[in-house]
Amino acid sequence: MALEVKKLGVIGAGQMGLGIALVAAQKAGVPVTLVDNSQTSLDKGMKFADKLLEKDVSKSRITQEMAKETKSRLNPTTKMEDLSDVDFVIEAVPEIPDLKTSIFAQLAQICPPHTILATNTSSISITKLAAATTKDPTDTSVSSRVISTHFMNPVPVQKGVEIISGLQTSQSTVDAALELCKRMGKVPSISADSPGFLANRILMPYINEAIICLETGVGQKEDIDNIMKNGTNVPMGPLQLADFIGLDTCLAIMETLHQGLGDSKYRPAVLLRQMVDAGWLGKKSGKGFYDY
């Protein structure tokens, strides 16, 4: 029988972390401890939660009372120690390997012995993150509880979640992750712990090739996006999608694929690296392939 998650922890109050926390509070009815080292980020995240809930109320998806109950389940804090009573914690910080391994080392000390330690990483090895929880590789008491629940963006809209096990991950941990995702109204898919997993192994080379088409003059940005929207029925073209993901995130994932798989087909586009160097990161910076 899968572990029943009565209290969830989420680390990172950015777009992904806030989305995960909100869906868990709203759909699964679970109290969520939302941790971020920046009070400003927490305040911004909670305001965004209010905005999303108000939108749901205005469209009659939920009642005002339901919105109030959801908000009451979100408990923002800047203290990692407040995760000492959660059953399941999901880390959703930027794709910086050293930052993530540091967080997992801390969680191994802070969380109870039954707590499942999950990451929302889109590209970093789960086996490596699990190894960071112990100094003795033969002791899998903590590392067996490490897993990835990689939610698709934006979390309140997209139903997909990738469940990725490390070498150390136990079946009971997988079962608990699957059960929580289903409670949140998501449709989980299981992937092996391989660079990029399933989603980014397929998606990022597609985006990267679209950028190469732009930089080599095969097509203009509008034509590239339009042919994919109107030719393959995707809701957003690859360049616009890259802007929404964040070009720095796209570059980081392509570098992980290139390094991890050693195949030249995963080499990041020159234009992608140049745009990141320029600070043109997409929607979040106000400029990417398009202006926002």
Q: Which CATH architecture has domain 8-192?
A: 3-Layer(aba) Sandwich (3.40)
Find the catalytic residue in 162, 165, 179, 191.
Answer: 162
Among the options 91, 120, 150, 208, which is catalytic? 150
Q: From CA 84, how far away is CA 107, in angstroms rounded?
A: 9
CATH superfamily of 200-285: N-(1-d-carboxylethyl)-l-norvaline Dehydrogenase; domain 2 (1.10.1040.10)
Q: Does the annotation mark 114 as catalytic?
A: no
Tens-binned pLDDT, residue by residue, of the chain (292 aa)? 788 999 999 999 999 999 999 999 999 999 999 999 999 999 999 999 999 999 999 999 999 999 999 999 999 999 999 999 999 999 999 888 999 999 999 999 999 999 999 999 988 899 999 999 999 999 999 999 999 999 998 999 999 999 999 999 999 999 999 999 999 999 999 999 999 999 999 999 999 999 999 999 999 999 999 999 999 999 999 999 999 999 998 998 899 899 999 999 999 999 999 999 999 999 999 999 999 9
Domain with CATH 1.10.1040.10 in the chain: 200-285
Known active-site residue 150 = yes
Closest to 208 (Cα-Cα) out of 245, 177, 250, 246: 250
Tell me, yes or no, if 258 is annotated catalytic.
no
Residue carrying the six token digits 């039954």? 114
Instruction: Judge whether 72 counts as a catalytic residue.
Output: no
Helix (H, G, I), strand (E, B), or coil: what is residue 122?
Answer: coil
Where are the domain boundaries for CATH 3.40.50.720 in the chain?
8-192
